[in-house]
């Protein structure tokens, strides 16, 4: 247990250092497979007790395909402006900005997950920890760390509590406010409608589902809990192995995931910072 004499400013300095590392590891806007590797690392480091990052890894790899589809569709639909080249270029630029906002959400969530996990593993029991990490999220992650230290596995009900706490925290602090702003600024009604009705088909799903309105927070929460419940029913080892299905991560990732992440971390943290966030 960390000494109580550690001051709040020291805690915040540690948190900011982890955030800086997390930003590097999360990569640039298009580095979705790299983020999937970081997410998987946290799932493994938690002893399989922190399931949010494993499901988020599926989200990152699925999103890679969805973004490609959306941008191709946008190029096709942009021909409605065929007789006004400037308008067509402007609308395609807006579509790219809209897609980048969602990529950046994925990146910021990855940073947040990495930072909160490693910070609470070191300082979660400190009396001032709740001044740095929201109290409900702190309590959930402390449950993960306690189980990991004792070498035990949380029940699926407990894992669901942790997942829900983390999911709601991301919705409140990162996802919700960013989506609201992005939707308000994207004035291409046809593409906005398509973008807000994604067909979600994670590799471990038995069937896909369609959002009625991705901008609706209640629906995002409902679908997020569905993703958890489906994973718990299938079994976490099967959900982990289903990452192969996207055919994005190399075989070396699956053969030696710990070594693979260690090599990635060493390479990334010795390189320059990625470009600043958008939006």
The helix or strand, by DSSP H or E, that contains position 99, with its residue range, turns out to be helix 85-123
Specify the pLDDT at position 65.
73
Percentage of residues in the chain having pLDDT higher than 70: 85
111 in a structural domain? yes
Mean pLDDT of 210-225: 92
Is residue 50 within 8 A of residue 43, CB to CB? The reply is yes
Check residue 279 and give its pLDDT: 38
Is 58 a residue whose pLDDT tops 90?
yes
pLDDT at residue 185, as a whole number: 77
pLDDT digits (tens, 9 = 90+) for 229-256: 999 999 999 999 999 999 999 999 999 9
pLDDT of residue 29: 86
Say if residues 145 and 124 touch (Cβ distance below 8 Å).
Answer: yes
Q: Of 34, 40, 47, give the one whose Cα is nearest residue 254.
A: 40
What letter does residue 166 receive in the DSSP assignment? H
Residue 95 has pLDDT above 80, yes or no: no
Q: Is residue 274 part of a domain?
A: no
φ/ψ of 229, rounded to 5, equals -65, -35
User: In the predicted model, is pLDDT for residue 7 greater than 50?
Assistant: yes
Count of domains forming the chain: 1
Residue 3 included in any domain: no
**Cα dihedral 149/151/153/158 (nearest 10):** -20
Whether 161 is covered by a domain: the verdict is yes
pLDDT tens readout for residues 99-121 = 788 888 889 999 999 999 999 99
Residue 2 inside a domain? The answer is no
Name which residue leads in pLDDT, 249 or 91: 249
- State mean pLDDT over 83-89: 63
Domain-located, residue 47: yes
Interval 146-161 mean pLDDT: 96
Separation CA 159–CA 193 (nearest Å): 34
Residue ranges making up the domain that contains 73: 8-269
pLDDT-derived band at 187 (thresholds 50, 70, 90) equals confident
Residue 1 is predicted with a pLDDT of 47
Domain assignment present for 25: yes
How far, in Å, CA of 258 to CA of 260, rounded? 5
Please tell me the predicted confidence (pLDDT) of residue 190: 72
Burial of 140 (0-12, 13-18, 19+ CB in 10 A): buried
For the chain, what is the mean pLDDT? Answer: 87
Whether residue 51 is predicted with pLDDT greater than 60 in this model: the reply is yes
| 162 lies in some domain | yes
Express as a percent the part of the chain with pLDDT over 90: 62
């Amino acid at each position: 247990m960390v000494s109580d004499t550690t001051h709040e400013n020291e805690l915040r300095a540690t948190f900011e250092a982890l955030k800086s590392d997390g930003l590097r590891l999360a990569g640039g806007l298009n580095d979705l497979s790299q983020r999937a590797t970081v997410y998987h690392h946290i799932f493994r480091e938690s002893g399989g007790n922190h399931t949010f990052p494993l499901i988020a890894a599926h989200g990152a790899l699925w999103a890679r395909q969805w973004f490609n589809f959306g941008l191709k569709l946008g190029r096709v639909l942009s021909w409605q402006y065929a007789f006004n080249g400037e308008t067509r270029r402007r609308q395609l630029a807006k579509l790219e900005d809209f897609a980048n906002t969602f990529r950046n959400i994925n990146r910021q969530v990855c940073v947040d997950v990495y930072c909160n996990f490693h910070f609470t593993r070191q300082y979660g029991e400190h009396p001032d920890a709740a001044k740095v990490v929201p109290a409900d999220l702190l309590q959930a992650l402390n449950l993960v760390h306690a189980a990991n230290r004792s070498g035990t596995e949380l029940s699926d009900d407990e894992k669901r509590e942790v997942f829900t706490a983390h999911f709601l925290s991301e919705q409140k602090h990162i996802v919700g406010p960013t989506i609201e702003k992005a939707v308000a600024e994207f004035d291409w009604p046809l593409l906005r409608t398509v973008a807000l009705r994604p067909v979600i088909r994670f590799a471990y799903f038995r069937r896909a589902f369609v959002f009625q309105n991705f901008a609706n927070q209640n629906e995002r929460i409902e679908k997020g809990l569905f993703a958890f419940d489906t994973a718990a029913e299938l079994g976490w080892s099967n959900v982990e192995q289903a990452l192969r299905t996207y055919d994005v991560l190399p075989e070396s990732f699956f053969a030696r995931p710990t070594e693979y992440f260690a090599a990635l971390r060493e390479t990334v943290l010795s390189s320059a910072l990625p470009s600043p966030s958008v939006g």
